[in-house]
Structure 1
Amino acid sequence: MSQRPSRPLPTGWLVLWTVLLAAALGGFVALGTWQIHRMHWKHALIARVDGFLRAPPVAAPGPRAWAGLRADRDEYRRVELRGVLLDREILVQANTRLGAGFWVMTPLRRDGGGYVFINRGFVDAAHRDPARRGEAPPAGPVRIEGLLRLSQPGGGFLRSNAPAEGRWYSRDVAAMARSLGLSPVAPYFVDQSAEGGAAAPEDAFQAEPTRWPVPGLTVVRFRDEHLGYALTWYALAAMTAMAMAYGARQEWRRRRAAAGADPRRAVR
């Protein structure tokens, strides 16, 4: 009894599968290469921000420089500015290492004119009322040092800011300025550093901080998993190439057998 080999694929199906596998192979290679480019970009970003954090503070950009600010060039730069904090604030929902609560966003009237929102730090729900924080904010001229952050328009994930209801999920500078009737306002805000520009004091991470709001809680951390993603895409590309090679070999054998040219046909 003879064993009949499987029949070759019709030419149309063979072309279709070849095109699909070739497209998948090209797509996997392209995605892996894109992740490599992203990895280099991320490493440059980390190096740039690390340089900002180590450098001495510079003067916060004035109105003439506002239009040219860019996230990839200016965000997380250490800055300083002088002015007077207004007796007004907006609370923006936040999650920090101290738990859930709010960022205290207070406008500062600069000595040279204009306003800049200052993120004075974090308060929990029990201290959202300024009267319960203990120490009142300074009433006279102040010098603020911190990290420049660009505006965060729109709101949070699936949650839009509702200024009329006092619900804020992102630090949208333009919307906050409209809410308080302030103009002109810088398109950035400043995350105030702890005293001396260092990290937040040790007592900031205890169960009950001694001062509210707690400054210096900005998290400067960037995910750097692009190499792992790239290797995954390249592995899929290699598997696709192996599948194409195996399929081509099997199809070649089937076609040889169909033409009666396969010497390895078994006869029982």
Structure 2
Amino acid sequence: MSRPLPWQRIVLPSFFALPILAVLLGLGTWQLHRLSWKQGVLAELAVAATRPPVPAVAETPAFTRITATGRFRPGAEAIYGLEVRGTTLGGSLVTVLDRPGDQPPLLVERGWVPLEGGRIDRPEGEVTVSGYARPTERHGFLAARDDAAAKRYYTFAVRDMAAALGAPYALEYALTVVLPRGGPAAPSGLGSTPAPWHGALPDPATGFPEPNNPHLGYAITWFGLAGAWVVIFLLWSRKRLSET
């Protein structure tokens, strides 16, 4: 029986090594696409933050700077998300804003409030709020389950919240209130560090969202792992071929 040629010793392991390399390279390439997409989002947010506010209408692009006038509907409130400020656990207060005339209601994300305690300001008269148009979100596979009965939500699903609050015909996005304070604006929303609680409730966002952009680092990591995998396989192959 003839002995296998040296190169035949690495043929079968190659069928396992190559798919792993392809996966690592694919993940790195995907992160580069995500990087390009995130840079576009950041550029759009930077432009939107400098534009004057426009009235909230049905066809409003995401993160447009908008304003709306109306009355907060008593009792029509929900809490979105969980966020710790200092040692206090809270979430974002979402309220229905009933607007005059035939204008549809609008959900307003007023800002952070503690889950227990605290004196929340609830204006009874007509108010004008301004901020940015926050788009709705889809329920993720790993997202926590919303509790419509308790008005607790972990996915910013505008339609679901509006229906639970008795406003099924509300606009398909929400207005996130932005109230700049003196000094540099702190990052707010979409994965960035929340502003500290200063006492007034709700504690609104102080600027447009500033999403994190770690995709270049992720891409370097995946490509680095791919390179390391190639080196490991070449060293193993060299040793394997040198065996007698």
Aligned to 1:179: 164
Structure with higher Rg: it is: 1
CA–CA separation in structure 2 for the residues paired with 1:23 and 1:155: 28
Aligned to 1:122: 112
CA–CA separation in structure 1 for the residues paired with 2:210 and 2:113: 22
Q: TM-score, normalised by structure 1?
A: 0.70
Cα distance change of structure 1 residues 232 and 76 upon mapping to structure 2, 3 Å threshold? same
User: How many angstroms does 1:8 deviate by?
Assistant: 6.3
Aligned to 2:146: 161
CA–CA separation in structure 1 for the residues paired with 2:230 and 2:24: 11
Q: Does 1:103 align with 2:92?
A: yes
CA–CA separation in structure 2 for the residues paired with 1:242 and 1:172: 47
CA–CA separation in structure 2 for the residues paired with 1:218 and 1:45: 15
Cα distance change of structure 1 residues 90 and 157 upon mapping to structure 2, 3 Å threshold? farther
Aligned to 1:89: 76
Aligned to 2:201: 212
The DSSP-based 3-state class of the residue aligned with 2:171 is: strand
The DSSP-based 3-state class of the residue aligned with 1:186 is: coil
Cα distance change of structure 1 residues 149 and 156 upon mapping to structure 2, 3 Å threshold? farther
User: How many angstroms does 1:114 deviate by?
Assistant: 0.9
Aligned residues: 228
Contact 2:136 2:173 in 1 (8 A): yes
CA–CA separation in structure 2 for the residues paired with 1:239 and 1:193: 46
CA–CA separation in structure 1 for the residues paired with 2:20 and 2:140: 37
Aligned to 2:225: 236
- CA deviations 1:97-128 (Å, max 9, x no partner) are 4642232222112334211111222222213x
The DSSP-based 3-state class of the residue aligned with 2:164 is: helix
Contact 2:179 2:204 in 1 (8 A): yes
The DSSP-based 3-state class of the residue aligned with 1:223 is: coil
Cα distance change of structure 1 residues 156 and 172 upon mapping to structure 2, 3 Å threshold? farther
List alignment gaps of at least 5 residues for structure 2: 187-194
Please point out which of 17, 40, 43 is paired with 2:39.
43
Superposition map of 1:1-268 within 5 A: 11=8, 14-62=10-58, 65=59, 74-93=61-80, 94-95=82-83, 97=85, 99-111=88-100, 112-124=102-114, 125-127=116-118, 132-133=119-120, 135-140=121-126, 142-152=127-137, 154=139, 159-194=144-179, 209=199, 211-216=200-205, 220-254=209-243
User: How many angstroms does 1:161 deviate by?
Assistant: 2.1
Cα distance change of structure 1 residues 22 and 52 upon mapping to structure 2, 3 Å threshold? same
Larger displacement relative to structure 2 (174-183 or 34-43): 174-183
List alignment gaps of at least 5 residues for structure 1: 1-6, 259-268
User: How many angstroms does 1:174 deviate by?
Assistant: 2.0
Cα distance change of structure 1 residues 25 and 161 upon mapping to structure 2, 3 Å threshold? closer
**Same amino acid, percent of matched pairs:** 25
CA–CA separation in structure 1 for the residues paired with 2:37 and 2:78: 34
